[in-house]
Homo-oligomer: A and B are copies of this chain.
Amino acid sequence: MKATMLYGPRDVRFEQRPDPQIEKPTDAIIRIAAACVCGSDLWPYRGISPIKQPTTMGHEYCGIVEEVGSAVKSVKRGQFVIGSFAFSDNTCPNCQHGYQSGCMNGGFVNAAQAPFLRLEQANGTLVATPEIPSADLLPSLLTISDVLGTGWFAADAANVKSGSTVAVVGDGAVGLLGVLSAKQMGAERIIAMSRHEARQKLAREFGATDIVTERGDEGVERIMELTKGVGADSVLECVGTQESMMQAIHATRVGGYVGYVGVPHGVTLKGEELFRQHVHLMGGPAPVRRYLPDLIDLVWKGKINPGKVFDLTLPLPKVADGYRAMDERTAIKALLLPS
């Protein structure tokens, strides 16, 4: 097959690779129906997280089970499945506590921008849809694998509840789906921080009640004004920089919650300041597996349409164009369809 490889900064190639094979009894091979480029793929693409050697790419996926190892019982050939970007046995203590992205026998998918994917720990990672979905459902189902699951975790980690006042730092696809998630969880007020018109529009469509265009300290001041000097109950940090993290912490009310899902790059927190701010912090790789059944249900019943974050659709061989568009912010998120 031909698949995606990253060779170095801004050097994405679609080239010949070995067809994946079952290697362990717990593996499954998935024929990818849709994949995409993740905001986190841009860290190595931009050279900020350097790679040492050419690497396969992609961790968001859904598709048809092509083959399973002898120990795989939870899904079978021919089913349409969605899995988390983190594979997990779903039985270890960490999984049982609901943190499958910290599975003791798990790891991270890294070869999904391809026509076929070998997935480890298929039993604990994959969830089948009720039937084979129609093509129009594919984008929304695909988001569950990471970008929606991560936005959902941000809102969950930030303790969003019915009636909450929520602020979302970051207007990438995760931030936008954080808005959608907060809305689903019953937030009364959702302040999206964005200075891009198209993203503001989508944020409003997903449930944002207010838009703040200012950043950093000015952004915090605006949120304080909007909340009568109190701060937001819940803030979703969906970027991962020092500025965005401090913006999130300072925009949170005393005793409030920050859910951070932007992969931190060079972020340092001072204990004294955290102590003074008096906020709950929770973040990390989203335990998407925990949310898979409920999120599939919401999409299947048409209650949410997270697939709207894809504003560029490309045939898989054009994957490099997807990276470029996201890097240049001409696209929010690029959907990749194997032919």
On A, residues with C-beta under 8 Å from B are 93-94, 97-99, 101-102, 104, 228-230, 240, 242, 245, 253-256, 260, 263-272, 274-285, 287
Contacts and interface: CB of A to CB of B under 8 A. Distances in A.
A97 B255 contact: yes
Given A267-B272, A275-B263, A97 B284 contact: no
Nearest to A230: B93
B255 A99 contact: yes
Contacts of A266: 271
A119 to B, nearest CB: 22
A3 to B, nearest CB: 28
13 contacts: A93-B228, A94-B255, A99-B278, A102-B254, A242-B271, A255-B287, A263-B275, A264-B274, A266-B271, A267-B271, A275-B283, A278-B285, A280-B281
Contacts of A228: 93
A268 B267 contact: no
Contact of A269 (B268, B276, B278): B268
A260 B275 contact: yes
A98 B233 CA distance: 13
Given A93-B253, A265-B271, 13 more contacts: A94-B255, A97-B255, A99-B254, A99-B255, A102-B254, A102-B255, A260-B271, A264-B270, A264-B271, A264-B272, A265-B272, A274-B283, A276-B284
Given A254-B99, A255-B99, A271 B268 contact: yes
Contacts of A255: 94, 97-99, 102, 287
